[in-house]
Amino acid sequence: MIRNFSDVKSLLFSNLTLKQTIFKNTFWLVVGEGITHFLKFILIIYVARILGATEYGKFTFALSFVSFFIFFSDFGLSQIVIREFAEEKEKQKEYPAILSLKILLGLATLILMLICSFLITPDSAIQKVIWILAVFAIVNNFSEIAFAFLRARQQMEYEALAKIFHAILVTSIGFFAILNFPSVGNLSYSYLFASTIALIFILIFFHFRVQPLSLSFNKTIWQKFLRLSWPLGLTAIFGSILINIDSVMMGYFGQITQTGWYNAAYKIILMTLIPMNLISQSFYPALSIAFRESKEKLQRIFNYHMEIMILLSLPLVVGGIVLAPKIIDFIYNPSYIPSFLAFQILIITAGVMFLGSPFSLLLIISNQQKKALWTAAIATLVNVILNLILIPKFSLYGAAFVTIITNLLGFFLLFKFTTKFTSIQPINLKLLSSFIGAGLSSILMYFVITQPIIYYLNVILSILIGTGIYLISFFIYRNLVNPVRKGGAF
């Protein structure tokens, strides 16, 4: 019970119990990521409007190309640091060696991006943007290794504050550049400048308030962590290919304007994935601990995680499909009309990713990284082949359709591997009940928001009404099915 300021401070800044710690971490991740992505999303909306679809397409093509490589600079280290440091605090003394390895990986990745930029496009202007964004990506990604240390200690409040500070810098400097000197090159420079300043302040704060920074070129520790991280590293690289290959291919085929349309829709989809990522990050340390303690506790936490994803994914897909034209028109302008259908296709992908994320996380927790790797590798291969076939013929719509197919394939493989190689029962009465309730509530929401009196309101009002109908109907369902809830999810 919260009675005074001291109780609030303990709730949000201390690790007291499992449920309280998950709540605290989730709260700070929601605050940090929510503000961060909201500010950057507002910036990118104005970038798309001011630059137009073609110039915006150049920027997103260059950024997608850089994002294609950036996971080489981490190679799964961050996730392994969270898992290993959360399980055994003594391993935190190996952190200086991890920092030095991160620097070397970053430099190697930067060289790789610069070389490949000459192969992907003959346009010297786009090549220059790629070079600037390549340096930006390396600088921006380096802070992830510091955030991994904080997540292992379950001190996500520091990460949230650092990300908010970074977002404010990027947004303010980005707006200054795009409003006063509108060009793709100047926007790229603003990203690099803001991220460099943010990283300097983050490292200073980390050094004096969290853990003194130092470097240690210990090859033994490097080899140990790379042996653990390489499946995750390759999985992340394959995941990056899945996310960015469509934009890169469209740019390679000269479909720059179509790349702008596609990414206009895709940026909104990425915003909808923020809750999925935040919740998964909050559950990661708790699942790691539960895996060592008991199968029963692991199952309970998995059920809680999966139930949340079910409750979020179904209304997201239904509402997104119905309101897609209004959402695109509200955020951008009439020149982005071709983004409507791409958004409706991609929102289904978002729902599949929500449902698949607990399985992916569980495989990592259970030390089954290679199974996640195989899933990503197979999905990536299918994705590349289908994109080569469909993008030349159907452009952004072919790319969106391929994204659905490959994510459904990935979900099937994750489900199969989880069932076979972990102790979790992914299908059980608790989750089935939640799925039925979410499905019925989503159907009711659909009938409400498709009524002309609701549909033709301002899109924000339509979303709020639909959300309210969904939550109320699900609450009624839950109380009818299970009127007395004894205990909690844990």
**What tens digit of pLDDT does each residue of 364-385 get?**
888 787 787 788 889 889 999 9
Residue 78, pLDDT > 90, answer no
The pLDDT > 90 percentage for the chain reads: 37
| Average pLDDT for the chain | 85
Return d(Cα 329, Cα 314) in angstroms, integer.
23
Return d(Cα 281, Cα 304) in angstroms, integer.
14
Matching residue, tokens 């923020």: 274
Q: Which of 176-180, 282-286, 354-358 has the lowest mean pLDDT?
A: 282-286
Between residues 408 and 22, which one has the greater pLDDT? 408
272-293 pLDDT per residue, tens: 888 888 788 778 777 877 887 8
Tell me the mean pLDDT in the region 249-269: 89
Is residue 378 classed exposed, middle or buried when 0-12, 13-18 and 19+ CB atoms within 10 A define those classes? middle
Of 385, 144, 130, the C-alpha closest to 242 is: 385
Contact 368, 417 (CB under 8 A): yes
pTM of the entire predicted model: 0.74
Contact 157, 24 (CB under 8 A): yes
189-238 pLDDT per residue, tens: 999 999 999 999 989 988 888 788 888 888 888 888 888 787 777 777 78
Residue 461, pLDDT > 70, answer yes
Contact 374, 413 (CB under 8 A): yes
Residue 466, pLDDT > 60, answer yes
Return d(Cα 151, Cα 145) in angstroms, integer.
10
Residue 130, pLDDT > 60, answer yes
Return d(Cα 53, Cα 259) in angstroms, integer.
8
Residue 65 corresponds to which tokens in the numbers above? Answer: 């190309």
Query: What is the predicted pLDDT for the residue at 349?
Result: 93
480 contact partners, CB below 8 Å, separation of at least 6: none
